Amino acid sequence: MKNIIIYIIIILTIQSCNSKEKKSSSSSQNEYYTCSMDPQVVEYKPGNCPICKMALTKVTKNNNLEVDEIAVSEQQIKLGNIKTSKATYQDISDENSITALVKTNEALSNSVSVKVMGRIDKLYFKNENDFVNKGDKVFELYSDELNLAKQEYLLAKQKKDQFKSELIDYEQLVSSAKSKLLLYGLTEKQIAGISSESIALNTTTFYSQSSGFISEVFVNEGQYVMLGQEVMKLIDLTSIWVEAQAFNNQIGEVGLGQKVNVLFPDYPEINQQTEVDFINPISKSNTRLTQFRVTVLNKGNALKPGMIAYINLNKETKKVIALPIDAVLRNKNEASVWIETGKNKFKTVMIEVGIESNGMLEIISGIKENDIIVVSGAYLLNSEFMFKKGANPMEGHDMSKM
């Protein structure tokens, strides 16, 4: 009898130990220790973080949650400003923005040049960016060749008035001498005023045939100049060119006459719609870039060459599921969002994204219409997941393979 009692006591002791071991094992499965500074650290007993040496924090697992799901408190939702919104279909435009540069409209540029050899005795404008009106005096030129042509014109005119001959056509001589003076750059008014007194002045004044800002002055006073040599260059800024470059695999998206929007960061209020009026037929082989250009009106000459601009290439609008950019967490080739799965419960979902426009991002796959998406506070949920689970919620996913 005594042996039976001892045997029963031994069995009960063994069962008690097994029960405690199961309890301890169950407890260890539901609890672990991690570091608030280094959430990747996971231990199953108290101690210090091997990285920062801080005391590990005890975390109790919630067995009602899925692997990629977490629960947060009302206080965390308020402090983290966690907000949600339904995923809906929206109109979104595949808009490609290309950085561009404001340049002078060369079609409106004019050169003030010398049409007869001589010496620049006086420059009326010497500084770049000065504005020249049409008809303003630009320079005075001393030219033996021009003075001789004026003398010939004066003599031909005098002989025409004094002599009448059937053998000599003085009218033709006057006309030829006048044509030469016009070719040298004199105006009709200057030619009409030629007299013996004007020839004695030796120098001839030349006037601007157009208006514009001086972009460059090429000569100095006292300098001898040759036929056709530039004195200065005038630019008209009433319209300007905006030039951009696109990669060769993108240039197919750009066509002559295509409507585009042009924006200027220095003048946000200026937003002009125009069209592509030039595409360079030659690509830069070393950069694989092709140049294209648009022309923009420049009211009040506010836009200056050298300014930065953005050309937005508008494409067809399509209806897609779209989310605010801040709702999407992106890392290299990965993208994810947080979906509300219940009261204060959230789940991370990998998604594939498409085009971006006006602060919205197209969602190609991963969520469906009416899913409740976290649009604010997603980063807090990410941090909370790493703290509680000891792993990155995007780990093991690759958006490029979706």
Residue 294 burial (CB count, 10 A): 24
Q: Euclidean distance between the first and final Cα of the chain, in Å?
A: 73
Cβ partners under 8 Å of residue 258, min gap 6 = 275, 276, 313
Confidence of residue 391 (pLDDT cuts 50, 70, 90): low
How far is the C-alpha of 224 from the C-alpha of 127, rounded, in Å?
Answer: 19
Q: What mean pLDDT comes out for the span 71-92?
A: 85
Measure the CA–CA gap between 400 and 350, rounded to whole angstroms: 11
**55 shares its domain with 155:** no
Whole domain around residue 197: which residue ranges? 115-228
> Any idea what the CATH number is for the domain that residue 266 is in?
2.40.30.170
Confidence of residue 209 (pLDDT cuts 50, 70, 90): very high
Q: Are residues 251 and 345 in the same domain?
A: no
Residues 123 and 218 in one domain: yes
Question: Which of 228, 253, 280 is the endpoint of a domain?
Answer: 228
Instruction: Note whether residue 12 is domain-resident.
Output: no
Residue 1 lies in a domain: no
Residue pLDDT, tens place only, 313-356: 866 677 889 898 888 988 777 888 999 988 888 988 899 988 77
Is 265 in the same domain as 249?
yes
pLDDT-derived band at 249, boundaries 50, 70, 90: confident
256 and 346 assigned to the same domain: no
What's the rounded mean pLDDT across residues 264-272? 88
Domain boundary among 313, 335, 351: 313
Name the H helices within 115-169. 144-162
Distance, in Å, from the CA atom of 328 to the CA atom of 350, rounded to the nearest integer, reads 10
| pLDDT on residue 156 | 86
pLDDT, tens digit, for every residue of 170-183?
A: 788 888 999 999 99
Q: What percent of the chain is helix, strand and coil (3-state, nearest 5)? A: 25, 40, 35
Task: Answer positive or negative: Cα dihedral of 146, 149, 155, 156.
Answer: negative
* 345 in a structural domain: yes
Identify whether residues 283 and 377 lie together within a single domain: no
Residues 211 and 302 in one domain: no
pLDDT at 7: 55
Mean pLDDT along residues 89-116: 88
Q: Residue 387's domain is classified under what CATH number?
A: 2.40.420.20
Q: Provide the whole-model pTM.
A: 0.53
Q: Are residues 223 and 251 in the same domain?
A: no
Same domain, 161 and 180: yes
Q: How far apart are CA 29 and CA 62, in angstroms?
A: 11
The kind and range of the H/E element at 199 are: helix 196-200
Instruction: Answer yes or no: is 2 within a domain.
Output: no
Residues 252 and 329 in one domain: no
| 198 and 161 fall within a common domain | yes
| Tokens at 366, concatenated | 């991963």
- Do 90 and 101 lie in one domain? The reply is no
The pLDDT score that the predictor gives to residue 27 is: 44
CA distances from 326 to 72, 81, 267, 322 (A): 20, 13, 27, 12
Distance CA 132, CA 214 (A): 7
Tell me what pLDDT residue 16 has: 53
Instruction: For 244-273, give one letter per residue: b (16+ CB within 10 A) or e.
Output: bbbeeeebeebeeebebbbbbeeeeebebe
Mean of the per-residue pLDDT values of the chain: 82
Q: For the chain, how many structural domains are there in total?
A: 4
Q: What is the pLDDT of residue 49?
A: 86
Answer whether 353's CB lies under 8 Å from 363's CB: yes
